[in-house]
Amino acid sequence: MDQYVITGGVPLVGETEISGMKNAALPILAASIMTDETVTLENLPDVDDVRVLIEALRSIGADIKYIDRHTVSVCGAGIGSCEIQYEYIKKIRASYYLLGALLGKYKNAAVPLPGGCNIGSRPIDLHLKGLNAIGGNVKILYGTIIGKSERLHGAHIFMDTVSVGATINIMMAASRAEGRTIIENAAKEPHVVDVANFLNSMGANIKGAGTDVIRIKGVKDFHGTSYMIVPDMIEAGTFMCAAAATRGDIMIKGVIPKHLEAITAKLREIGCEIEEFDDSIRVVAARRLSRTHIKTNPYPGFPTDMQPQIGVVLTLAQGTSVVTESIFENRFKYVDELTRMGASIKVEGNSAIIDGVDCLMGARVSSPDLRAGAALVVAALAAEGTSVIEDIKFIERGYEDFEQKLEALGADISRVSAEGKSGRLKVRTS
């Protein structure tokens, strides 16, 4: 498996362009088969998770053509099966969006239980509860989620926990049910809004996405559309943290600054200078940053997907910070790796107590999951000496051209094949 070799200690300076949001692209791709007419999707990120989902959709008969690297046309008219094979699904958690899409369109779906990042127990009870409330007749049989319904109908659904995936899945299926559905305590993430906007552009009638209450009036059919996916706030946030950790100066282009407010507020609080423009944001870290406390929360709170990256920034800040994870229980798997680079962190329950150190030192570390892997890259960029980051397949699930974008900002990063070269690599520590 390929690795990144990074020699750090260089402030990242320059401009970078953000790709389309992976977590919006996946449900939108899944939903694009809900019409027999052609759908054109623009600003699709070229990342592994998207490629896997495209293959899964092709495997049931969807006709998907790349118009250019970031634009596809999708036609769901030729779909001959509602049964997704496990080989696609084990790789990506977002495969569960095929459940809402197929059930909404065909009233029939068989989707193996999802894989994806191991960041916690990740149950799907809320998906099942919501889909059953609208008549989906969904159950788990032999590791597969099966839904078969004569008729989907509207329902009043109260979500016990705020769930992005369950909100989107229910929204997709309910938009093709008979009657009205209300989802209370809905997730408000920008990708929930993006999926609602996309479904509305296909003819759905969804109101209130981005608030706690989403109201859906079911429609009989959808039609073709052309849609551009929003920029990836987590990719943008990762570059913001890279600027902060390396004491750099990065202009991050093609973003929606509003989506980044929780990250911007925290970075300002610890001493970064941040300028917001219409569709870009500049992060400057001119001096050593200071401590703070952070707790992850559903949007508009601080995103759990940014917790490892900000954890790295705070590792290098002056004083003691506490980072509390309130969404997923296994999100501190980067801490042991970071400790090998010289960090001083103690995990107690769902909090990490971080004593800021003056510098990190290059080491050989391994990516535990997608965001933790990206955080270790940020750590390596800030560290003195050379680091080797193993298992970068996790990072490539969600970051397009990561090493090229970092290289353009002055990073000393290269990608090597573990089989071919790792034996000869020496980790430089001074």
Contact residues for ligand UD1, defined by CB under 6 A: 23, 26, 93-94, 120, 122-127, 161, 163-166, 187, 304-305, 327-328
**Which DSSP symbol is given to 404?**
H
Which CB atom, from 224 or from 301, has the smaller least distance to ligand UD1?
301
Residue 124 C-beta: closest distance to ligand UD1, Å = 4
Which CB atom, from 12 or from 25, has the smaller least distance to ligand UD1?
25
Residue 361 C-beta: closest distance to ligand UD1, Å = 30
Question: What does R_g of the chain's alpha carbons equal in angstroms?
Answer: 22
Q: Is 117 among the catalytic positions?
A: yes
| Cβ-contact 165, 183 below 8 angstroms | no
Q: Which of 82, 117, 241, 272 is catalytic?
A: 117
Which CB atom, from 123 or from 319, has the smaller least distance to ligand UD1?
123
Show Cβ contacts of residue 77 under 8 Å, excluding neighbours closer than 6 positions: 36, 37, 63
Half-sphere exposure of 390 (CA within 13 A, CB side): 13
| Cβ-contact 347, 332 below 8 angstroms | yes
For residue 247 the two structure tokens come to: 């004491």
Which pairs from 394-397 meet CB under 8 Å and 24+ separation? 394/117, 394/367, 394/368, 394/369, 394/370, 395/4, 395/367, 395/370, 396/47, 396/48, 397/22, 397/47, 397/48, 397/49, 397/92, 397/117, 397/370
| Cβ-contact 304, 345 below 8 angstroms | no
Which CB atom, from 47 or from 345, has the smaller least distance to ligand UD1?
47
**Amino acid letter for position 75:** C
End-to-end CA distance of the chain: 27
Which CB atom, from 161 or from 226, has the smaller least distance to ligand UD1?
161
**Amino acid letter for position 273:** E
| Cβ-contact 309, 372 below 8 angstroms | no
Tell me the residue number closest to ligand UD1, measured at CB.
165
* CA pair distance 337, 278, nearest whole angstrom: 37
Reduced to 3 states, what is the DSSP secondary structure of residue 406?
helix
Of 175, 182, 190, 178, the C-alpha closest to 223 is 175
Residue 10 C-beta: closest distance to ligand UD1, Å = 29
Residue 60 C-beta: closest distance to ligand UD1, Å = 20
Residue 113 C-beta: closest distance to ligand UD1, Å = 12
Residue 358 C-beta: closest distance to ligand UD1, Å = 31
Which CB atom, from 6 or from 109, has the smaller least distance to ligand UD1?
109
Which CB atom, from 305 or from 384, has the smaller least distance to ligand UD1?
305
Residue 161 C-beta: closest distance to ligand UD1, Å = 4
* Residue positions annotated with a catalytic role: 117
